[in-house]
Amino acid sequence: MTASPAPSARPAPPDLAELVATRRDLHAHPELGFQEHRTAALVAERLRGLGYDVRTGVGRTGVVGVLRGGAAGGGRTVLLRADMDALPIQEAGEAPYRSTAPGVMHACGHDAHVAIGLAVARRLAAARAEWRGTVKFAFQPAEESGDGAEAMIADGALAAPSVDAAFGLHVINSLPVGAISATSGPIMGSVDNFTIRIRGKGGHAAMPQDAVDPVLAAAQVVTALQSLVSRAADPFDHLVVSVTRVAAGTASNVIPDDAELEGTVRSLGGRIYADVAERLTRIATGVAAALGCTAAVDYRRWTPVTVNDEAMTALVARVAGALVGPANVRTDARMLGGEDFSLFLQKVPGCFAWVGSANAARGLDAPHHSPRFDIDEAALPIGADLLERVAREYLR
């Protein structure tokens, strides 16, 4: 790696204290998806105070804020999205700003996204005379359940004014603070979920000849489903099949009537994405049938693959390079976690960037969704700089 400015060497922006204070306030008051009432009220009040045209209740608890630039010419509208929801996790960290809501925690960093979004909104309002076009902020509920983006879009978040491009970011503890990832093409997985109900015939555990064992069938279905990854998918495609819940039985001496499996399928698209529902169903029903059972498969498409537009990603990578040094910009990072910003990117070109937030030396590198998750807040001004400059660059 070539030498590049460490984030601590960058001059602190004047709004650093506010960024940190907002993030900590939200962190202490986390709210689950579609229950972001306090967060949405805070967002709406700030945006109104800055002169934004604000619409609340968009997709239930979402907030949209619109501001037109003061410079002449240019009719483009850029959407900047920040998700607001927390997770049903009891925080284990001891930070003074730890969650005050029992069993609820900002364990994914969406508190940082809201703080960054509000800082960018303030900066763009203050510099309104310098830019043209329109900025539209979407403060989104319920990202974790994959429902919020759909709800906001259905409620007109991309219309009036219609949006030409969309950008969003996620703080990420798999990258050190000071690094930014802007990768073109498919970057995050499709999310499909399935439930398989296997029906056999219950009986005495010591007399299996008089029963049809659904537990044995379920075990073989679990094993056979991994052949999707090793045999059905093109080795150059990406596929994960995880069976995450296995349920059957009530006692050690009883063969139960039924067994139930639940799990998830992730991919980066391609032919396997089109085929996988049918193939998974065939394996489950076929294996169950071979053992005398029946299987009913409920296969649900959830969020699609997150696909970054090439030109929009090049813009983000260029801005990121100017911000943290080209050596600290990753253009090859992907993961099979899901992200419902994918639904915005299905409608308009854009880019979803990752802003490194880990600091292992300070113990701030627990993974997302961990009860010990926390970030290096030096990521906040980096995220704000990135989003602000990307918006201004796009509208130029």
Residues forming the site for Zn ion (CB under 5 A): 108
Q: Which is nearer to Zn ion, 111 or 192 (CB)?
A: 111
Shortest CB 171 distance to Zn ion, Å: 8
Count of CB atoms situated within 10 Å of the CB of 174: 15
Cβ pair 75, 161 in contact under 8 A: no
Q: Which is nearer to Zn ion, 108 or 345 (CB)?
A: 108
323-354 per-residue burial string, b: 16 or more CB within 10 A, e: under 16: bbbeebbbbebebbebbbbbbbbeebebbbbb
Question: Where do the H-state alpha helices sit in 263-378?
Answer: 271-290, 310-324, 341-347
Residue 198: strand pairing partners: 259, 295
Q: What angle do CA 100, 34, 177 make, to 5 degrees?
A: 60
Is residue 269 exposed (0-12), middle (13-18) or buried (19+ Cβ within 10 Å)?
A: middle
Helix pair angle (16-28, 110-126), 10° resolution: 140
Phi-psi region of 383 (alpha: psi -120 to 50; beta: other; left: phi over 0): alpha
Q: Which is nearer to Zn ion, 194 or 354 (CB)?
A: 354
Q: Which is nearer to Zn ion, 191 or 384 (CB)?
A: 191
The span from the CA of 189 to the CA of 352, in Å, is 13
Handedness of CA 111, 377, 375, 263 (dihedral sign): positive
Residue 26 phi/psi, 5-degree rounding, is -70, -35
Q: Which is nearer to Zn ion, 112 or 255 (CB)?
A: 112
Count of CB atoms situated within 10 Å of the CB of 165: 23
Shortest CB 170 distance to Zn ion, Å: 6
Shortest CB 146 distance to Zn ion, Å: 10
Q: Which is nearer to Zn ion, 65 or 146 (CB)?
A: 146
**First-last CA distance in the chain:** 32
Shortest CB 325 distance to Zn ion, Å: 26
Q: Which is nearer to Zn ion, 105 or 158 (CB)?
A: 105
Q: Which is nearer to Zn ion, 337 or 349 (CB)?
A: 337
Cβ pair 285, 297 in contact under 8 A: yes
Shortest CB 161 distance to Zn ion, Å: 27
Q: Which is nearer to Zn ion, 181 or 285 (CB)?
A: 181
Give Cα 195 distance to the centre of its chain.
23
Q: Which is nearer to Zn ion, 108 or 114 (CB)?
A: 108
Shortest CB 108 distance to Zn ion, Å: 3
Q: What angle do CA 311, 235, 284 make, to 5 degrees?
A: 115
Give Cα 190 distance to the centre of its chain.
11
Nearest to Zn ion by Cβ — which residue?
108
Shortest CB 375 distance to Zn ion, Å: 12
Shortest CB 379 distance to Zn ion, Å: 14
- In the chain, the amino acid numbered 145 is S
Shortest CB 172 distance to Zn ion, Å: 9
Shortest CB 60 distance to Zn ion, Å: 18
